[in-house]
Amino acid sequence: MTHSAREHPWALQFVNVSKWVVGEQGRRCVLDRLNGRVATGTLLTLVGPSGAGKSTLLSLCNLLQTPDDGEVWVLGREVRDWPVSQLRRKVGLVWQQPVMLPGTVADNLALAARLHHEPPADGAALLCRVGLPADLLHRPAHELSGGQMQRVALARTLANQPDILLLDEVTSALDREAADVIEKLIVEWVNSEHKTAVWVTHDTEQARRVGHETWLIAEGRAVEQAPTAQFFTAPQTVWGQRWVLAGQSQGERNA
Amino acid sequence: MWSLAWTLAFVFLAMALSGWQRLGLSRELVVAAVRACVQLFLIGYLLKVVFHLNNLWLTAAMVTLMVCVAADNASRRGQGVAGRFWRVFVAVSATEVCTQGFLLAARVIPPKPSYVIPISGMIIGNAMVAAGLFLHRLRHEAAARRGEILVLLSLGASPKQAARTVVKAATKASMIPTIDSSKTIGLVQLPGMMTGQIIAGADPVQAVRYQVLIVFAILASAAVTTVVLGFLTYSRLFNAYQQPLL
Ligand SMILES: Nc1ncnc2c1ncn2[C@@H]1O[C@H](COP(=O)(O)OP(=O)(O)O)[C@@H](O)[C@H]1O
Ligand SMILES: [Mg+2]
């Protein structure tokens, strides 16, 4: 049952992945034979218009949703062949909308340990890693601000010691300074521990700052896949060129 | 018998009021009155026969029929939970076997159909209400706490762990009416069974003894039903890939 400690070269592989959703206008194809793979030790940033299917793609990686067609491989094993709980421990997912469980911040941080009958991680140290003061520990989690919740949710997932992190716009409620702390933390976590992260972000500059590799999701596919530097300097496809141009003009407006 | 016919005056009174206030309920009232009469008399004669025969199998068959009707009724409340008839059936049966079995084993009541059937009726009826409430609350709680369930699943929780708070909340909510009604029993209204016994000439204190027994039995039955149902249904909230269904 236990997965060998030997590292698999590909943390994630998507093979002709398709996903339909049933919406108001009937059945709609969200992902259409998407292909791609992510090497272990990579920080992949995902960009694309909203509604393109980025969040859906993340939820396929920890099997919160099942692909309708194609395969998703995690560390050399297809998601549906994994023991589900084990897969979800290895692949941590942090949502854009953080949900706190009833109880204090400390209760939330101890959740993973409680579920797996392990001694709880050091809550104060976890808070410190995401840039929050330790005196939040005994506050009811529901009383936190949106930005604080986002960071507690990230710390709660880190406490589970995943090998792969899926981050869905986790700095959307943070100011620039707080976002910097998170960016440094994730970059450091990936680089020093040779972990893998897939980071969905609306912030083009952020995608550029933190990524090793960047994919543009559109029309249900990863239309441009390139090392991050190349993605932003020399996009190969029309889609990529348009996205980067739009991002530049947005950056100039913000400047 | 003829004295009973006079009570039809109540039905006429209700119909007259309905006609006067133009409630449009006259037809419904007639149907309800006729149904109540026919059903109760049928049950009365049936019970007379069953009590007279005093046959174990016949008694068991009656109780089983009661459980089936109760399970069918309660399972209508849980749309979206697959295979709920059988689950409710098992939970209500377990409740009946536990509580009735205990009453018989401890010789609290004699093993006669005239005791077993009415007391079963009360236990099963109460279990039915608790089971219906449980299924209703389970759906409601699962939908309201979907976000929490997703967080738990994403951290690698088993379906049982992920469903725990939802099942707990539903269990609590479905036991509260039974507990509340036990608290005020006898203060606002005399329970039906006690009233009946007193009118039939029983000593009120003797009637109270049986009523206390019933109160304890239905408290236990609400607890057993909801806990068993909780164990049987939590896995139905998820599919084979441990994804939430509701
Ligand atoms: N549960 C759902 N039911 C119906 N439609 C959904 C559901 N989840 C996502 N969708 C649709 O799927 C598409 C992709 O959504 P999503 O993956 O959240 O996009 P993104 O994260 O790129 O903004 C959207 O058009 C959205 O409306
Ligand atoms: Mg999204």
Please tell me what DSSP assigns to residue B246.
Answer: -
Q: Which of B155, B158, B168 to mutate to test the interface with A (most CBs of A within 10 A)?
A: B155
Cβ contact, residue pair A93, B154, below 8 Å: yes
Give the C-alpha separation, B222 to B123, whole Å. 9
Give the pLDDT score at A48: 94
Q: How far is the CA of A203 from the centre of ligand 1 (A)?
A: 19
ipTM exceeding 0.90, yes/no: yes
Q: Using CB atoms, which residue from A65, A84, A111 is nearest to B155?
A: A111
3-state secondary structure chain A: CCCCCCCCCEEEEEEEEEEEEEECCEEEEEEEEEEEEEECCCEEEEECCCCCCHHHHHHHHCCCCCCCEEEEEECCEEHHHCCHHHHHHHEEEECCCCCCCCCEHHHHHCHHHHHCCCCCCCHHHHHHHCCCCHHHCCCEHHHCCHHHHHHHHHHHHHCCCCCEEEEECCCCCCCHHHHHHHHHHHHHHHHHHCCEEEEECCCHHHHHHHCCEEEEEECCEEEEEEEHHHHHHCCCCHHHHHHHHHHHHHHHHHC
Give the C-alpha separation, A251 to A190, whole Å. 27
**Beta pairing partners, A200:** A46, A168
Task: Decide if pLDDT at B188 tops 70.
Answer: no
**Residue whose tokens read 């590909």:** A10
Give the C-alpha separation, A190 to A165, whole Å. 9
∠A96-A57-A156 over CA atoms, to 5°? 40
**Residue whose tokens read 């989690």:** A141
CATH architecture of A5-254: 3-Layer(aba) Sandwich (3.40)
The residues in B 77-106 lying below 8 A from A, measured between CB atoms, are none
Give the C-alpha separation, A85 to B149, whole Å. 13
Cβ contact, residue pair B155, A101, below 8 Å: no
Cβ contact, residue pair A89, B241, below 8 Å: no
Whether the CB-CB separation of A150 and A173 falls below 8 Å is answered with: yes
| Closest chain B C-alpha to A162 CA, distance in angstroms | 9
Residue A23 alpha carbon, nearest atom of ligand 1: 4
- What are the structural domain ranges in chain A? 5-254
3-state secondary structure A174-198: CCHHHHHHHHHHHHHHHHHHCCEEE
pLDDT in tens, B8-48: 888 888 888 888 888 888 888 888 888 888 988 998 898 89
Q: How far is the CA of B224 from the centre of ligand 1 (A)?
A: 42
- What are the structural domain ranges in chain B? 1-53, 54-237
A145 touches chain B (CB under 8 A): no
A99 touches chain B (CB under 8 A): yes
Which residues of B are less than 8 Å from A110 in CB distance? none
pLDDT in tens, B64-89: 999 999 999 888 876 767 778 999 99
Give the C-alpha separation, B230 to A147, whole Å. 36
State the amino acid at position B176 in one-letter form: I
pTM of the model: 0.84
A80 touches chain B (CB under 8 A): yes
Question: Of the given ranges (A121-125, A179-183, B166-170, B206-210), which has the lowest mean pLDDT?
Answer: B206-210
Query: Within 10 Å of residue B242's Cβ, how many Cβ atoms?
Result: 21
Q: Using CB atoms, which residue from B147, B156, B243 is nearest to A115?
A: B156
**Residue whose tokens read 């390139």:** A226
Give the pLDDT score at A1: 39
- Contacts of B66 by beta carbon, 8 Å cutoff, 6+ apart: B120, B121, B124
State the amino acid at position A151 in one-letter form: R
Q: Between β-strands A91-94 and A164-168, what pairing exists: parallel, antiparallel or unpaired?
A: parallel
Residue A53 alpha carbon, nearest atom of ligand 1: 17
Give the pLDDT score at A6: 58
Ramachandran angles phi, psi of B188, nearest 5°: -90, -55
Indicate if ligand 1 lies below 6 Å from the C-beta of A97: no
Packing angle between helix B84-105 and helix B204-233, nearest 10 degrees?
Answer: 140
B164 touches chain A (CB under 8 A): no
Q: Which of A64, A107, A149 to mutate to test the interface with B (most CBs of B within 10 A)?
A: A64
Q: Which chain A residue is nearest to residue B244, measuring alpha carbons?
A: A64
Encode chain A (255 residues) as per-residue pLDDT tens digits: 344 445 789 999 999 999 999 888 888 899 999 999 999 999 999 999 999 999 999 999 999 999 999 999 999 999 999 999 999 999 999 999 999 999 999 999 999 999 999 999 899 999 999 999 999 999 999 999 999 999 999 999 999 999 999 999 999 999 999 999 999 999 999 999 999 999 999 999 999 999 999 999 998 999 999 999 999 999 999 999 999 988 877 766 665
